[in-house]
Amino acid sequence: GENVEQHPSTLSVQEGDSAVIKCTYSDSASNYFPWYKQELGKGPQLIIDIRSNVGEKKDQRIAVTLNKTAKHFSLHITETQPEDSAVYFCAASIKDAGGTSYGKLTFGQGTILTVHP
Amino acid sequence: GAVVSQHPSWVICKSGTSVKIECRSLDFQATTMFWYRQFPKQSLMLMATSNEGSKATYEQGVEKDKFLINHASLTLSTLTVTSAHPEDSSFYICSARAGWATTNEKLFFGSGTQLSVL
């Protein structure tokens, strides 16, 4: 099955700096890669996603890049703010024997991001 | 955006009792819902996939008789933890997939339920 590795497990940056979180996946058939932000005691919130037919996607201060050949994708947050502090999870779609995923995801281990004022 | 409402947000119960957690999609029809379990400082572990009108599909190692899932309508799925024990204490989260298209893989998550079994 799919295996997703996420690094680093913790990341501490100063306000205004950039933060980068990286994930690798094992199943070359995966074609959907979302990123979630989870605050303490809450459910994950989708912040950005990318499909395998796209190499990069940007939404204001957040961007995601995908390298299909190397099977890795990264989250980039620029001009970080204290409110960006949270746990971030990457995920990759899981496909069944018929090649359909129906939204089933494998999650990375999570990265605790701390942005210091 | 799509909103998923999960209740209760926290529950404390005695060992041996059953607890029901509800997951509702408020502004869209959810053909598929997923239930996860999350331990402190760990990732989300998929427990089961719930499709409207059919039996849930459980992940390996998840006891289907202990974690009963019902998806009776396109907007509601419930997870019942039967005969709860302290080891069932955890953060339970649901997510919902909108639409019928197999290419629609966006998931929207509920706010989670913290279950504490005494």
pLDDT digits (tens, 9 = 90+) for A71-87: 999 999 999 999 999 99
Residue A108 with chain B: CB contacts under 8 Å = 43
CB within 8 Å of A60: residues ≥ 6 apart:
none
Residue A5 with chain B: CB contacts under 8 Å = none
Cβ separation of A109 and B97 shorter than 8 Å?
Answer: no
Query: Above 70 in pLDDT, residue A101?
Result: no
Rounded to an integer, what distance in angstroms lies between the CA atom of residue B114 and that of residue B93? 9
Residue-level pLDDT at B54: 83
Query: Above 70 in pLDDT, residue B104?
Result: no
Residue-level pLDDT at A99: 67
Mean pLDDT (chain A) is: 93
Find the range with the poorest average confidence among A4-18, A81-95, B58-72, B97-111. Answer: B97-111
Residue A59 banded pLDDT, cuts 50, 70, 90 = very high
Residue-level pLDDT at B90: 96
B43 contact A CB<8A: yes
A42 contact B CB<8A: yes
Q: Which one, of B96, B100, B66, lies nearest residue B83 by Cα? A: B66
pLDDT digits (tens, 9 = 90+) for A4-23: 999 999 999 999 999 999 99
Of the partner residues B34, B42, B112, the one whose CB lies closest to the CB of residue A103: B34
